[in-house]
């Protein structure tokens, strides 16, 4: 069975359905860096490598995304969304998950860039 984005969760972040998702579903590209961050979190929860790679800027994109099959994602808290200029933004977030019964807190300040009207994840600093 092919992996697909969890569209009910992702679709709430989009305003127009005009682009094709790598998994074949028709959805819009996120309108801002925060919406992109939220869609990427949903993709991590769903194990949707195609969406994560498609939304990663080519200059920093890895060849693959590895998922820990034992991770149970518990939630996302966006702490701050800052637009630094027309085509750059930062999103600070905390994602929580459990692995092997142990709670893990991932705190990151992510950087995003907009090219040709689309936002992409560039990189981030762990906090």
11-33: burial string, b at 16+ Cβ within 10 Å, e else: eebbeeeeeebebeeebbbbeeb
- Comparison of pLDDT for 89 and 19, the residue scoring more: 89
Average pLDDT value for residue range 28-33? 94
pLDDT band, residue 2 (cuts 50/70/90): very low
Q: 25 or 113: whose pLDDT is higher? A: 113
Give the pLDDT confidence score for residue 28 in this predicted structure.
Answer: 82
- Residue 25 pLDDT greater than 80, yes or no: no
- Do 38 and 32 contact (CB within 8 A), yes or no? no
User: Can you give the pLDDT at residue 15?
Assistant: 34
- pLDDT higher than 90, residue 22: no
Q: In whole numbers, what is the pLDDT of the chain averaged over residues? A: 84
């Amino acid at each position: 069975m092919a992996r697909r984005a969890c569209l009910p969760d992702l679709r709430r972040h989009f305003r127009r359905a005009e682009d094709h998702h790598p998994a074949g579903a028709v959805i819009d590209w996120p309108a801002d860096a925060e919406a992109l961050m939220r869609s990427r979190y949903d993709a991590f929860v769903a194990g949707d490598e195609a969406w994560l790679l498609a939304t990663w800027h080519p200059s920093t994109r890895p060849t693959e995304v590895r998922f820990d099959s034992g991770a149970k994602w518990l939630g996302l808290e966006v702490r701050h969304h800052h637009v630094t200029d027309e085509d750059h933004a930062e999103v600070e977030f905390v994602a929580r998950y459990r692995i092997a019964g142990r709670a893990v807190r991932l705190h990151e300040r992510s950087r995003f860039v907009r090219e040709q009207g689309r936002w992409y994840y560039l990189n981030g600093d762990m906090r």
